[in-house]
Amino acid sequence: MNAVKLCEEALKEAEASNHRRIIVFCGRKYHEKVVCDSLEFCTKIYKKASILIVGDEKTLLLNEALEEVLKNRECSIKFLSFEKSIKALGTTWDFLVVDLRRDLTPNDIGRLIGIVRGGGLIFLLTPNFDSWIEMKTKFQERLYTYPYTLQDVKNNFITRFIRKLRDYEGIYIYDLDFDKPIKVPKGIFKKKRKRRKIEIPTKHEFPREIYEMCATQEQVEVLKLLENFIKDSGAFVLTANRGRGKSAVLGLFLACLAKVSKRRLRIGVTSPEKENVKTLFEFFERGLEKLNIKYYKNGYYEARKIFVEYNKPYLLLNYNYDIAIVDEAAGIRVPLLYEIIKKFKKTIFSSTIHGYEGAGRGFSIRFLKGIKEKNMAKITEFKMEEPIRYASGDIIEKWLFDTLLLDAEPSEIGDEDLKLIDRLKYEKPDVDEWFKNEKKERDLREFIGIYVLAHYRNRPNDLAVLADAPHHSVRVARLGNKIVNALQIAREGGVEDSYIDEMLKGFKPRGNIIPDVLTKHFRSREFAKLVGYRIVRIATHPKLMRHGIGSFMLSNLTKEALEKGFDWLGAGFGSSEELLRFWIKNEFVPVHLSFERNPISGEYSVIVVKPLSDRAEEIIKEMNYEFRLKFLGSVLDVQFDIEIEIAHLLLSTPYKYKPHYELKFTKTQIDRMQAYVDELLTYESVADVCRELARYYFLDTDRNLSLKDRQEKLLIAKCFLAKSWRKTSNLLDMKEGRALYEMRNIMKRLWKEYYAENSSDKSSD
């Protein structure tokens, strides 16, 4: 059977089932003519076929050759580089060619496979499988960091990828070197599945023209539910696997509002990345055009009585909208989603469950459960299941989800498991075995499933990093034979002087994230020479939270690192109060805070380090002091909107310090402060002196005086964040008069402790 005959067989299979088929062309030598002949045959069957070719500059040769072969055909051909593959999201093609001969980036596979319609073919161009396992791709060239080399990068992901290509029916493999097929699936013809006939509701308030634009009956049902939803307040939650048309139907919904709304509506749209809502706005425009509604577009939309604009997730809270729409909500931290529900009367949340942008059941479990438990809003839920581009049960979709673990979930935890909580085991699994040995598939799926339920933003590339990066490894906690905590770590540090010189000049090395940041911001050469583990991710099964399992893992990792002679453990994360408390409780010390909020989560990122060696202890103690000194001096300018609780935790420290300077005030400052203490002047008259006293107090941790937490938060709010008295009292849940009274009493104590008794000796006059 030659390549053309193989294509004919695959097309029959695809057409019969309204599913897709994959043909893998593999070989040491690349025969361009074989691929061109195959696609030429396909265009004879589909006269107006659309073909997308994705690859690198060398793949352009195939693109040009194919254009020449098909120049008299009515088909369309487009080339995309891998760097621009994200532009293919939301588009539909008859045939897809992906050139994997020099690169295999999992994110590209996750994005691209879903864009082919039922009845279409996907061509994967690969090296000979034996040589593929030995070679290093462009993606793998980015997976190592000093002191490792490219030769240390493993090939676990490609090994798994090849095995899955061989395992699944619906995937044909053709050897270009010998010009013959090496895998032809047994015929799995299925009766072509007919899509449910679309029935428009007899009674409807939204325009019939929009209902007629729906591709599935489920989209019709969603529109009808939204008709009723907008009459009331609450939350509408729409979930689906990728390719079910959820973003499209939300765009059509907005077009309906433009037609039927009797009052002006302001609508805010958000998502983790603006690219996520591309389809939503595309169908919004299509709907408006269908209804002959003119619209104005300039970074926002105005159409009849509705105003629609996109904002980054945390910025959404700065506006007053009648309706808030959150697309790909699983990619946004749960506390921020809760804030959105509280802020707006009508909220619509849409999220992919399985797929390239998916987050599994973690979104439903953590988010919806929280809404219900806290009685935050009336909820309307709908899950879309019918694919838009192809029939349900598509075998290629199953292959994709399995290969990239897009549908990974952890073990179910029952009451019997909870009885074993005191028998936790800390283990160091063999990751190579997870990827190479089919018998270890369960462990791999459970491990990734923990991250899915923990609401991490998981991308296919993360799986390949875990599989192949030489400096990454994993640890797990087992309850019986079930994985209940997943810990991923990366070895960092041990950097040579020549690399440190470059880092100080601005060079950003691969990996070594914590040494790089601390070297640059503290202008220090010493920390980068030490060796440690950066904790990339740590998560516990949601049903076993609050059982100390995370602390159990960190305790055991500490023991392991000490035995290996490591100098430190560290982590970087979005600084929520809960997370920061967790790390500080486990003896990690804050040493760096980002200058801007994360555009998705709205959190400032913090780096914490736990010193293990004496040398690391000396360096981290000094860095912690410098960090707190810098934070107190710049927070009002740089992180002026930081939460008081976060600032308070960042200023906590396990170390005893005496400030590096003595307080000095002018005679006039001394007189003003004494008048304030004697209740003759207001705080505003001595704010400058109060700020200096407060700074000295927070730097002096080897002190006799100790304030209560609420008093320290009061100092932070007024002296360093410059909040108004009204704002300060609201944040600290106290009356404004009480806040004024409390501040004067605090300053009396600080003035007496640090200055008043020796004021005549300390004047700078």
For residue 35, the domain's CATH number is 3.40.50.11040
pLDDT value, residue 765:
45
Number of structural domains the chain divides into: 4
Q: Are residues 630 and 741 in the same domain?
A: no
Q: Which string of DSSP letters, residue by residue, matches 461-492?
A: HHHHHHHH-TTEEEEEEEETTEEEEEEEEEEE
Dihedral of the CA atoms 648, 653, 657, 658 (nearest 10)?
10
Q: Helix (H) and strand (E) counts for the chain? A: 30, 22
Q: Are residues 633 and 684 in the same domain?
A: no
Residue 352 lies in a domain: yes
Residue 413 lies in a domain: no
pLDDT value, residue 194:
64
Backbone angles phi, psi at 98, to 5 degrees: -120, 120
In angstroms, the CA 294 to CA 165 distance is 49
Q: DSSP 3-state assignment of 266?
A: strand
pLDDT value, residue 191:
60
The model's pTM is 0.88
Q: Which residues contact 126 (CB under 8 A, 6 or more apart)?
A: 24, 25, 26, 100, 101, 132
Backbone angles phi, psi at 180, to 5 degrees: -160, 155
Residue 393 lies in a domain: no
Q: Domain range spanning residue 220? A: 208-384
User: 447-466 as b/e, with b when 16 or more CB fall inside 10 Å?
Assistant: bbbbbbbbbbbbbbbbbbbb
Q: Which helix (H) or strand (E) holds 611?
A: strand 604-611
Q: Tell me: the pLDDT tens digits for 505-543?
A: 988 888 899 999 999 999 989 999 999 999 999 999 988
Residue 661 lies in a domain: no
pLDDT value, residue 357:
55
Own/partner pairs, 128-135, CB within 8 angstroms, 24+ separation: 128/26, 128/27, 128/28, 128/175, 128/177, 129/26, 129/162, 131/28, 132/26, 132/158, 132/162, 133/158, 133/159, 133/162
Query: What's the burial of 722, exposed, middle or buried (CB within 10 Å: 0-12/13-18/19+)?
Result: middle
**Total Cβ atoms within 10 A of residue 699:** 19
Q: Are residues 462 and 360 in the same domain?
A: no
Residue 409 lies in a domain: no
Q: Are residues 108 and 146 in the same domain?
A: yes
Q: Are residues 86 and 227 in the same domain?
A: no
Q: DSSP 3-state assignment of 566?
A: coil
Q: Which residues contact 564 (CB under 8 A, 6 or more apart)?
A: none
Residue 551 lies in a domain: yes
State which of 149, 183, 217 marks the end of a domain.
183
In angstroms, the CA 147 to CA 572 distance is 21
State which of 605, 640, 675 marks the end of a domain.
640
Residue 83 lies in a domain: yes
Q: Are residues 472 and 350 in the same domain?
A: no
Residue 652 lies in a domain: no
- In which residue ranges of the chain is pLDDT below 70? 30, 187-195, 354-366, 455-457, 757-765
Nearest CA among 483, 457, 453, 450 for reference residue 369: 453
Q: Are residues 52 and 127 in the same domain?
A: yes
Q: Are residues 435 and 366 in the same domain?
A: no
Beta bridge partners of 537: 488
Q: Which two tokens stand for residue 269?
A: 């749209």
Q: Are residues 90 and 218 in the same domain?
A: no
Q: Assign residue 220 the CATH number of its domain.
A: 3.40.50.300
State which of 183, 217, 234 marks the end of a domain.
183
Q: Are residues 623 and 483 in the same domain?
A: yes
Q: Are residues 52 and 167 in the same domain?
A: yes
Q: Are residues 56 and 126 in the same domain?
A: yes
H, E, C per residue of 162-197: HHHHHHCCCEEEEECCCCEEEECCCCCCCCCCCCCC
